[in-house]
Structure 1
């Protein structure tokens, strides 16, 4: 695997930029809607907590076999941050991914475009399997995962279903 922790990923409308502590001020507003946490749990963080999280992310994983890749999603036309994508890689060439787009920017295809670009970039850099854990009632996130090439599996983790890029095709009957 050859993942550059500082690489930008670009798509038609978006830049996926490595998270920096300085992004917290803009992202606290983007991530401030309690509705974003309906399926993933938790609640919005204040600025100090978000800065602390971004500081931990910038320091990287404490496990040498695991790489954390965290990106803010920048909508170039508006020159503003609108969400995040993440990947936890390892051990081995497996990544757990996640995405979130602020409520004000949802239903515009941003999460779909970001996830497609993110998964493609990860695969191009040697990640063999990409997984996402999605609450079964989160139909929007399931649609994003499907568009990015992930398919549902029979595996459940907590209240979520695992989606993966390596699900064997079901033979046609």
Structure 2
């Protein structure tokens, strides 16, 4: 089923989800540069060089057969600025999704809008959509709920598994 997945531009109300490219690294280093973005996920902000290397690996694709990495930057439609990313790792009939919006753009509903657009794009392509959310991250739980995911009560590596209902 992953052979049918090809990353493309996804239009949302105020955002465009644009396929991620190495060329986005410089601007994204600024967007993702706040250490507060790493409170729940760990790590620290990456330099433009580190992001270029990461984005090059992502562009090359997943090394595991049957796995497709899908990555987008979030671009504001009115100003053209990049504000965050969304991603989906597709394996078989399922996709695991994640999102991040830069601190300067949080509180505007961008993460929810992007997650809804991503899940809507994935739904005809996969049977299950999953996200893992830290139990203390209320904003990310709200994004998952907004995208139609529900908590399963299952915890993996300290994060709650959220899943699209069957149907």
Q: TM-score by structure 1 length?
A: 0.93
Aligned mates of 2:134, 2:117 — CA distance in 1 = 22
Superposed counterparts of 1:38-49, under 5 Å: 38-49=39-50
Aligned mates of 1:103, 1:30 — CA distance in 2 = 8
Which residue matches 1:60?
Answer: 61
Aligned mates of 2:98, 2:39 — CA distance in 1 = 15
CA offsets 1:55-107 (integer angstroms, 9 cap, x no match): 000000011210000000001111110000000000x1110100000000000
Which residue matches 2:123?
Answer: 123
How many Å apart are 1:167 and its aligned residue? 6.5
Structure 2: which 5+ runs fail to align? none
How many Å apart are 1:149 and its aligned residue? 0.4
Aligned mates of 1:159, 1:167 — CA distance in 2 = 24
How many Å apart are 1:133 and its aligned residue? 0.4
Which residue matches 2:19?
Answer: 18
Which residue matches 1:93?
Answer: 93
How many Å apart are 1:154 and its aligned residue? 1.9
Aligned mates of 1:152, 1:49 — CA distance in 2 = 33
C-alpha contact 2:18 2:72 (8 A) present in aligned 1: yes
* SS in structure 2 at match of 1:78: coil
Aligned mates of 2:18, 2:44 — CA distance in 1 = 24
* SS in structure 2 at match of 1:85: strand
Q: How many residues align?
A: 165
Structure 1: which 5+ runs fail to align? 169-173
Aligned mates of 1:40, 1:16 — CA distance in 2 = 22
Which residue matches 2:77?
Answer: 76
Aligned mates of 1:62, 1:100 — CA distance in 2 = 24
Q: TM-score by structure 2 length?
A: 0.96
C-alpha contact 1:153 1:167 (8 A) present in aligned 2: no
Aligned mates of 1:15, 1:150 — CA distance in 2 = 21
C-alpha contact 2:16 2:74 (8 A) present in aligned 1: yes
Which residue matches 1:50?
Answer: 51
Which residue matches 1:113?
Answer: 113
How many Å apart are 1:166 and its aligned residue? 2.8
